[in-house]
Structure 1
């Protein structure tokens, strides 16, 4: 809760966001909990395909971020935790996340709702894109339709015209063209 001068109270707790080392979200979450600091790293189950097997792995919903429930005095302990790079700031102060936002995320995750945070890069009709992974890895094409989390694209470098629906997370804008 903010006091009359607009600053946070030293003793009241708020949800803040910390930025972690790449692929350290779950490790940081565990290290914070070992220090009795309440943290939250929402994860989603994803099936990963290797050449010889498939495996279900838990990936952080927010890549590079973990939520912590702390007061100002506990912020120092968080900063000193291995894998924590810094707090996310807004207007010069650690960004405070409303309790109802965290509750909504927890509710969605507990119901096993399929959710994914997609890069805010916008892909539009007619854009030239390149596939980052999968069977058509490194193939280029033209976006002919954007359907939610998938892009319908025309693959034109396979000596024929092939239209394929590709997850938006598997493509990137082709800036070389």
Structure 2
């Protein structure tokens, strides 16, 4: 598009965040890229272990979110993409993420092999948790107290009441079945 001076107008693009269907982050990222929309789904590499095997997989660093670099005109196309639920809003407008934040996330993922986003608000006394790595790998227990970036918990099935302080990043909430 040209203005009256004959120079090209560049659409103002900025990083926005979209909320996706559960476990659709990588699919949405691929669908957006196939439409020519620049998107970024930060991934971390983890080792999943089952009783019979281990497998290395890449999972999204931010569950349920994908970053998109779009102009206002492209927002409609993003919204219409299968798996996109909506943009994340702040003060009644799509939340804008600074370029420097995206660059920091990319840099962090290149230099850090063990990273995780943990919402400490999700952990509270009485929660059932499982240890993800270390000496007590796969041990289950009950949270007694959450403090800062660690929890005080009691382990089950060790034939004694062992109380230990464990980093929040090293535990997984057990879901009720």
Which structure 1 residue ranges, 5 or more long, are not aligned? 1-9, 173-177
Which structure 2 residue ranges, 5 or more long, are not aligned? 1-9, 133-137
- Aligned counterparts of 1:167 and 1:25: Cα–Cα separation in 2: 27
Q: Is the CA contact 1:141–1:157 (under 8 Å) kept in the aligned structure 2?
A: no
Deviation at 1:140, TM superposition (A): 2.7
TM-score with structure 2 length normalisation? Answer: 0.77
TM-score with structure 1 length normalisation? Answer: 0.77
- Aligned counterparts of 2:117 and 2:143: Cα–Cα separation in 1: 24
Q: Is the CA contact 2:14–2:97 (under 8 Å) kept in the aligned structure 1?
A: yes
- Aligned counterparts of 1:154 and 1:146: Cα–Cα separation in 2: 15
- Aligned counterparts of 1:39 and 1:68: Cα–Cα separation in 2: 4
Q: What corresponds to 1:64 in structure 2?
A: 64
Q: Is the CA contact 1:42–1:61 (under 8 Å) kept in the aligned structure 2?
A: yes
Superposed counterparts of 1:143-154, under 5 Å: 143=145, 146=147, 148=149, 150-154=150-154
**Which deviations, in whole Å up to 9, do the C-alpha atoms of 1:117-159 show, x marking residues without a partner?**
10241657xx33322577344x43523x7574x5342237865
Q: What corresponds to 1:140 in structure 2?
A: 142
Q: Is the CA contact 1:140–1:157 (under 8 Å) kept in the aligned structure 2?
A: no
- Aligned counterparts of 2:143 and 2:107: Cα–Cα separation in 1: 38
**Which deviations, in whole Å up to 9, do the C-alpha atoms of 1:79-131 show, x marking residues without a partner?**
0111000000001100000111001001111223422110241657xx33322
- Aligned counterparts of 2:152 and 2:44: Cα–Cα separation in 1: 25
